[in-house]
């Protein structure tokens, strides 16, 4: 293990005092910005690279399951209900993930003074989220979904699919009968 990873592992031990949970052999790179750290649960063998901003507002929880890798500059914000990142998921750099939208319809109030609209958001196990993707409120990704670079994702997507674009759409699905990833029409 190189010295950098050893320092990050030691920091992970210290973070156990602040987070709701930090599993074994997990490391978190500095700097990290946290809101509601006691409501953030990090599994074992999770790697979070520098620049993460994680906000768990109110009683909401962020749960990162085992063996996830999160590249630099993640921004994750949740309110109202848990947001789960399934085990064995890889999240590339500069990704945004949320389960909330800001209400905007009251024109007599600034948007930031209006309540949050909460929508269930969940990342299935074994997913890959590409560089710069935005996972918006109300997104549910099944197992082993691949999200392309800079995709803007909202909606429910089945297991074993590839999503690209703005807005994201399924362009390939795995066919268990043929064992092939097939284009969708």
Predicted confidence (pLDDT) per residue in 59-109, tens digit = 999 999 999 999 999 999 999 999 999 999 999 999 999 999 999 999 999
Please spell the DSSP secondary structure of 85-140, one letter per residue: E-TT-EE-TT-EEESEEE----TTS-GGGSPEEE---EE-TT-EE-TT-EE-TT-E
CA 182 – CA 145 distance, rounded (Å):
14
Q: Give the per-residue pLDDT at 1.
A: 59
Interatomic CA distance for residues 82 and 2, integer angstroms: 34
Residues for the chain: how many in total? 185
CA-closest candidate to residue 26, choices 7, 45, 8, 39 = 45
Beta carbons within 8 Å of 1's beta carbon, 6+ residues apart:
9
Residue 15: what pLDDT? 80
Q: What is the distance between the alpha carbons of residues 126 and 53, in angstroms, rounded to a whole number?
A: 22
What's the chain's Rg over C-alpha atoms?
A: 17
* Phi and psi torsions of 19, nearest 5°: -80, 160
CB contact at 8 A, 45 and 63:
no
Q: Which two structure tokens, joined as six digits, stand for 102?
A: 């800001």
Segments in the chain below pLDDT 70:
1, 8-9
pTM of the model: 0.91
Structural domains present in the chain? 3-183 (2.160.10.10)
- pLDDT of amino acid 29: 83
How many whole angstroms separate alpha carbon 143 and alpha carbon 89? 9
């Amino acid at each position: 293990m190189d010295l950098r990873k050893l320092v990050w592992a030691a920091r992970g031990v210290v973070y156990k005092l602040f987070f709701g949970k930090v599993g074994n052999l997990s490391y978190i790179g500095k700097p990290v910005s946290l809101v509601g750290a006691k409501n953030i649960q990090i599994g074992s063998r999770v790697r979070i690279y520098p620049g993460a901003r994680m906000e768990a507002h109110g009683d909401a929880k962020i749960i990162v399951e085992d063996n996830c890798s999160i590249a630099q500059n993640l921004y994750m914000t949740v309110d109202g209900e848990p947001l789960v990142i399934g085990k064995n998921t890889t999240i590339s750099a500069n990704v945004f993930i949320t389960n909330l939208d800001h209400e905007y319809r009251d024109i007599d109030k600034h948007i930031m003074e209006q309540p949050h609209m909460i929508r269930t958001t969940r990342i299935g196990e074994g997913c890959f989220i590409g560089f710069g993707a935005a996972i918006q409120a109300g997104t549910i990704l099944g197992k082993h979904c691949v999200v392309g670079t800079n995709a803007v994702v909202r909606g429910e997507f089945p297991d074993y699919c590839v999503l690209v674009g703005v807005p994201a759409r399924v362009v390939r699905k795995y066919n268990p009968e043929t064992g092939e990833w097939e284009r969708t029409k």
